[in-house]
Amino acid sequence: MRKFVMFVDSGCDLPMKYIEKYDFKTIPLTVTIEEEVITEYFDEAKKRKMWDAINDKKNLKTSLVNVGEFIEAFTPYLEEGYDIFYMAISSGLSGTFNAARMAKLELEDMYPERKIKIVDSLSGSLAEGLLAIYAKEMLDEGMDWDLVEKKMNEMAVHMHHFFVIDDLWHIRRGGRLSVAKALIASLIKVKPVCTANLRGQVAVVERHRGRKKALARIIEIVKEKIIDPINQIIGIGHGDDEKGAVEVQKTLEKKLGIKNFILTSFGPIIGIHGGPGNIAVFFLGKKRDLE
C-alpha cells in the first residue's frame, strides 16, 4: 500500500483526540485577536481564549492559508516519498482551497512521481471533519485514490449543515445582515435557521420566534433529510454552549436512535462569524440544495 499522509485545515473543528486517532496532519488558518496572531487552536486552552474574546466582542479576523504555506507544509512529506490527500474547507467560505490547488500545480512539477489530491469539502466545521474521517478510513483500507476522491466529491453534496444563530450581532459584523435588520430581529427574538448550500455559502432557510423553536425545527429537518442515521457519525458543533449541544444530542438519540456523535465547540473560523449560542448539526442525507 502506498505511503501517504492526510491533511486537514483548522476549519474542520475536529477535537484533538480525532486528529491524533486518524493521524491527521494539520494546516492552520490564522486568527488575529486584537493584535495577537494565533494558529494552534486545536489546543483547547487557545480555543478558550478565542471564545472569551468572541464573548467580549473584541476585534477578531481570520486569514486563509496561502500558497507558500501549503508548499512549506507539503514538501517535507513529498521529499520522503509520501503522497498527500487534503480535505479543504469550502471554496465558498475561504480562498484556502484555491491556494492549495495552486500549490499542488507547483509541487506536481517538482515531484511528478507523487500523488496530491485536493478535495473541496463544500463544507466547514465538523461537516468538513466528518468527510476527512470517511476519506481516511477508505484510504487506510487501501481503496484506490481516484475512487476515494470521487466518493468524497459525491459525499460532499450530501453532507448537510443546519444551525441556529443566537446572537445576530456577529452575523451583522460579518456584513451578512444590516444593522437595522439585526436590531429588529433581536428585539422580537427571531432566530434564523441556516444552512450551507452547494456553493459552500451560508443561506437562511427559516426564521423562528425563540431559540427553542428554532432548535426543535432543526431536529425535524434532520429527520426529513437524513439517510441511514444508525450507520454514520453525526456532528454537533456549538458556540460555547455545551449544555445546549448535549440537549440536541439527547433528542437525536431519542428520536432517531443515533449512537455515533462528535460534539465539540466551534473553532475561530466558524465561531467568529456564528458567535456564542450557535448550535449546528452535521449529517449525511439527501442531496443538498444549490442555493
| Sheet strands (E) in 197-260 | 202-209, 234-238
- From 122, 156, 190, the end of a domain falls on 156
Domain that holds residue 217: 159-284
C-alpha cell at 71: 508548499
Residue 32: is its pLDDT beyond 90? no
| 269, 65 contact by CB (below 8 A) | no
Check whether residue 19 and residue 140 sit in a common domain: yes
Cross-strand bridge partners of residue 193: 164, 206
Summarised one tens digit per residue, pLDDT across range 170-207 is 555 544 443 334 333 443 467 889 888 887 677 888 88
| Sheet strands (E) in 156-260 | 159-164, 190-196, 202-209, 234-238
pTM: 0.90
Q: Domain count of the chain?
A: 2
- From 95, 128, 156, the end of a domain falls on 156
User: Is 124 inside any structural domain?
Assistant: yes
Summarised one tens digit per residue, pLDDT across range 228-265 is 999 999 999 999 999 999 999 999 999 999 999 999 99
Report which DSSP code applies to 285: B
Of residues 93 and 57, the one with the higher pLDDT is 93
Residues with Cβ within 8 Å of 207's Cβ and at least 6 positions away in sequence, in order, are 185, 190, 191, 192, 193
User: Is 34 inside any structural domain?
Assistant: no
Check whether residue 92 and residue 167 sit in a common domain: no
Check whether residue 110 and residue 76 sit in a common domain: yes
Predicted confidence band of residue 55 (pLDDT cuts 50, 70, 90): confident
Calculate the alpha carbon distances from 228 to 131, 249, 258 in Å.
16, 17, 10
Check whether residue 90 and residue 206 sit in a common domain: no
C-alpha cell at 218: 432543526
Distance CA 187, CA 181 (A): 10
Calculate the alpha carbon distances from 282 to 122, 125, 142, 275 in Å.
13, 9, 27, 18
Query: What CATH number is attached to the domain comprising 252?
Result: 3.30.1180.10
